[in-house]
Structure 1
Amino acid sequence: MNHNPTQEEAHRKAKPVAPKVKELIERTRSVILATVDAEGTPNSSYAPFTQIENTLYILVSFMAKHTKNLADGRKVSVMFIEDESATKQIYARERLTLEAIPSQIERDSETWNTVVDKLKKTHGKVVDVIAEMGDFILIALQPVKGSYVNGFGSAYFVDEHLEILEHRNDVNHQSK
């Protein structure tokens, strides 16, 4: 007898892929940013980053809209996403989305110097040039919570330490 599993049966049989949050971050050189301005107008952009412990750091220019939004301390959403050319299924790209709180790091502070040195090691000599420009500021992005997806039926809640809290299996896709 030919048995075609229903969508619900297929969902129950789907095995989540082991989460690899930290590996995705390590493979990524820039982060996608979603910010809003004082009027609530959204802006999407990106910035090269480095990570120290669980904090992400970006060196950004006030010539970019997202920098004012970040400097004003409004929450930001950041996304790490698998390269399209590397994905097996475009609808199920591996991705990590985090809500984060931005804060500006004082120029020439110990944290500034440590982070800028790490940015140089990661992104090269261009950091020497832009770190000296007055319109560039260093922003720390402190994760609050997020979600990680690495395939169909494989979605997880993530905490502020970038650790998996639980599998998001409580919401099923709806049939037509």
Structure 2
Amino acid sequence: MKKLSELLTGYQSVVLGTQGSNGYPFSSYAPFYYDGEHVYIFISNIATHAKNIQTTPQASAFFIEDESKSENIFARKRISLQCDVTSVSRDEETFNTVMENFQDKFDAAMVTMLMGMKDFNLYALKPIYGEATFGFGEAYHIGGKKMNELVTRTGDRGHK
């Protein structure tokens, strides 16, 4: 059974869906780090998606195959996670551990510069439920103890 971490290896950013104060969804993106249990994003308080998360601490994390690499535009590989969101304080050990991983994954100088900006905060997105689709008839639920495993969907009747 594939783990979510294997599937997210090729991605550097996540498409975020948050809820605005007007009740409408808001889409944006952020670079991310995944530790096998949480999707971490490091974003500025100035950004609309940060304000939305602070007001409504839930978000959708969406990963989708690059159009230029897709064999069929109607069947792009994708993973959608519905998440609860918590802020990770700079005082927590988790903050330092995750930010070291951000520095390893991305341009370390850029991450260090952003860490110097006090309006940037680290958020942990914990998947509550989700789906992964790899083509027609290849859809899975995200499950397991840590919500990090593919689980075959049952009961669906398929395309007609």
TM-score, normalized by the shorter chain, greater than 0.5: yes
TM-score (norm 2): 0.90
Gaps in structure 1 of 5+ consecutive residues: 1-17
Return the alpha-carbon distance in structure 2 between the equivalents of residues 108 and 47 of structure 1: 22
Return the alpha-carbon distance in structure 2 between the equivalents of residues 161 and 74 of structure 1: 18
Distance 1:19 1:111, change over 3 A: closer
Distance 1:83 1:111, change over 3 A: same
* Aligned with residue 122 of structure 1, among 101, 105, 121: 105
Mark the structure with the bigger radius of gyration.
1
Name the % identity: 37
1:113-137 deviation digits (Å, cap 9, x = unpaired): 1111110111112000011101100
Return the alpha-carbon distance in structure 1 between the equivalents of residues 56 and 97 of structure 2: 22
The alignment's C-alpha RMSD in Å is 1.7
Distance 1:72 1:59, change over 3 A: same
Secondary structure in structure 2 of the residue aligned to 1:104: strand
Matched, 1:140 2:124: yes
Q: Is the 8 A contact 1:153 1:169 kept in 2?
A: no
Aligned match of 1:61: 44
Aligned residues: 157
Gaps in structure 2 of 5+ consecutive residues: none
1:82-128 deviation digits (Å, cap 9, x = unpaired): 11111111111110000001100011321111111110111112000
Q: Is the 8 A contact 1:56 1:141 kept in 2?
A: yes
Aligned match of 1:74: 57
Matched, 1:151 2:135: yes
TM-score (norm 1): 0.82
Matched, 1:52 2:35: yes
Return the alpha-carbon distance in structure 1 between the equivalents of residues 95 and 3 of structure 2: 29
Distance 1:40 1:146, change over 3 A: same
